[in-house]
């Protein structure tokens, strides 16, 4: 039989006892669980970065995995805490956009707002709801529990605060929305933006006044060549072959990336 699998993503770092407290609660309530750290090094309170890393990791985990995701600047406030089921996987975290990307990519999902204290540790700390509310609920789901009973269904989730892609004539303007540890620049431009409209001569991608060649894989670029590929999130990424696009071009989240259909 497959042991329950719990995957963690937080901005707690690994120098202190916070991630360990979550794990202790999870293993107290679901002793046979396997725990996998996605990362605890999301930049502090950066829900956008957390959302991207989570969404990129999720598809490789088997159905039944429970994801406990905590990047929670609003801890103790009125923001909702949610549990969700999407394509057979489970999610627990604050309703602040962190889970939104992962859930929206699913074929279908159901989310509930956690309101039933029967499933929590008590007393609930005002500063550590991840330990007292989210971890106990994640352990409950990992033990085979159902969403029903945890709280009422949420009709919509908080959106992730992402810039939008603007279209002007045959030009799309998107932005760098994530920079990964290798210095690759993930944009909010969808894969379809690289597909030239029928009858056109193709597309040109520009970043920082520089033409970027569109290739099918990182390896297809030349040495130190900046290339554009469709990454694992279905989004256009800019990468430097055998180097860091982020360092070389002093990239920052929010940088504009342009796709022109000629």
Closest to its own copies by CB, 100 or 172: 100
Q: Cα(169)–Cα(219) distance, rounded to whole angstroms?
A: 32
- What's the min distance (Å) between Cβ of 42 and its own copies? 8
| CA–CA separation, 99 and 47 (whole Å) | 9
Nearer to its own copies, 125 or 143 (CB): 125
Do the Cβ atoms of 239 and 185 come closer than 8 Å?
Answer: yes
Of 57, 66, 98, 177, the residue at the interface with its own copies (CB under 8 A) is: 57
Q: Does 180 bind its own copies (CB under 8 A)?
A: yes
What is the x/- site pattern for its own copies, positions 115-154, by CB under 8 A? Answer: ----------xxxx--x-----------------------
- x/- contact string, 31-50, with its own copies (CB under 8 A)? xx-xxxxxxxx---------
252 CB contacts (<8 Å, ≥6 apart)? 176, 179
Percentages (nearest 5) of helix, strand, coil residues in the chain: 25, 30, 45
DSSP string over 178-237 = EE-TT--EEEEEEGGGGSPPTTS--EEEEETTEEEEE-SSGGGSPTT-EEEEE-TTSEEE
C-beta of 16 vs 152, nearer to its own copies:
16
**Pairing mode, if any, of strands 34-39 and 81-86?**
unpaired
Stretch binding its own copies (CB under 8 A), from 7-15, 97-105, 110-118, 144-152: 7-15
> What minimum distance in Å lies between the beta carbon of 147 and its own copies?
23
Tell me which stretch binds its own copies (CB under 8 A): 151-159, 163-171, 177-185, 247-255: 177-185
The pair of three-digit structure tokens given for residue 164, joined into one six-digit string: 């939008």
Backbone dihedral region for residue 193 (phi beyond 0: left; psi -120 to 50: alpha; all else: beta) = alpha
The reply on whether position 14 binds its own copies by CB under 8 A is yes
CB atoms within 10 A of CB 225: 15
12 touches its own copies (CB under 8 A): yes
Q: Which residues bind its own copies (CB under 8 A)?
A: 2-3, 5, 7, 12-18, 20-21, 23-25, 27-28, 31-32, 34-41, 53-54, 56-57, 60-62, 65, 73, 75-77, 125-128, 131, 180-182, 216-220, 232, 242
């Amino acid at each position: 039989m497959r042991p329950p699998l719990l995957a963690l993503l937080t901005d707690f770092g690994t120098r202190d006892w916070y991630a360990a407290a979550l794990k202790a609660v999870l293993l107290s309530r679901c002793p046979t669980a396997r725990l996998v750290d996605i990362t605890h090094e999301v930049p502090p309170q950066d829900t956008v970065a957390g959302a991207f890393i989570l969404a990129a990791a999720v598809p490789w985990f088997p159905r039944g995995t429970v994801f406990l995701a905590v990047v929670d600047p609003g801890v103790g406030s009125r923001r909702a805490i949610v549990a969700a089921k999407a394509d057979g996987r489970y999610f627990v975290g604050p309703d602040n956009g962190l889970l939104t990307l992962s859930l929206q990519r699913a074929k279908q999902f159901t989310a509930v707002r956690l309101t039933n204290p029967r499933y929590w540790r008590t007393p609930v700390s005002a500063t550590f709801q991840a330990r007292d509310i989210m971890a106990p609920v994640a352990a409950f789901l990992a033990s085979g529990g159902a969403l029903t009973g945890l709280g009422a269904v949420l009709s919509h989730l908080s959106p992730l605060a992402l810039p939008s892609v603007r279209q002007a004539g045959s030009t799309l303007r998107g932005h760098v929305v994530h920079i990964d540890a290798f210095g690759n620049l993930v944009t909010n431009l969808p894969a379809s933006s690289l597909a030239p409209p029928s009858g056109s001569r193709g597309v040109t991608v520009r970043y920082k006044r520089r033409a970027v060649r569109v290739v099918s894989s990182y390896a297809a670029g030349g040495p130190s060549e900046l290339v554009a590929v469709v990454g694992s999130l279905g989004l256009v990424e800019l990468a430097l072959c055998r180097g860091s696009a982020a360092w070389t071009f002093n990239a920052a989240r929010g940088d504009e990336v342009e796709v022109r259909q000629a």
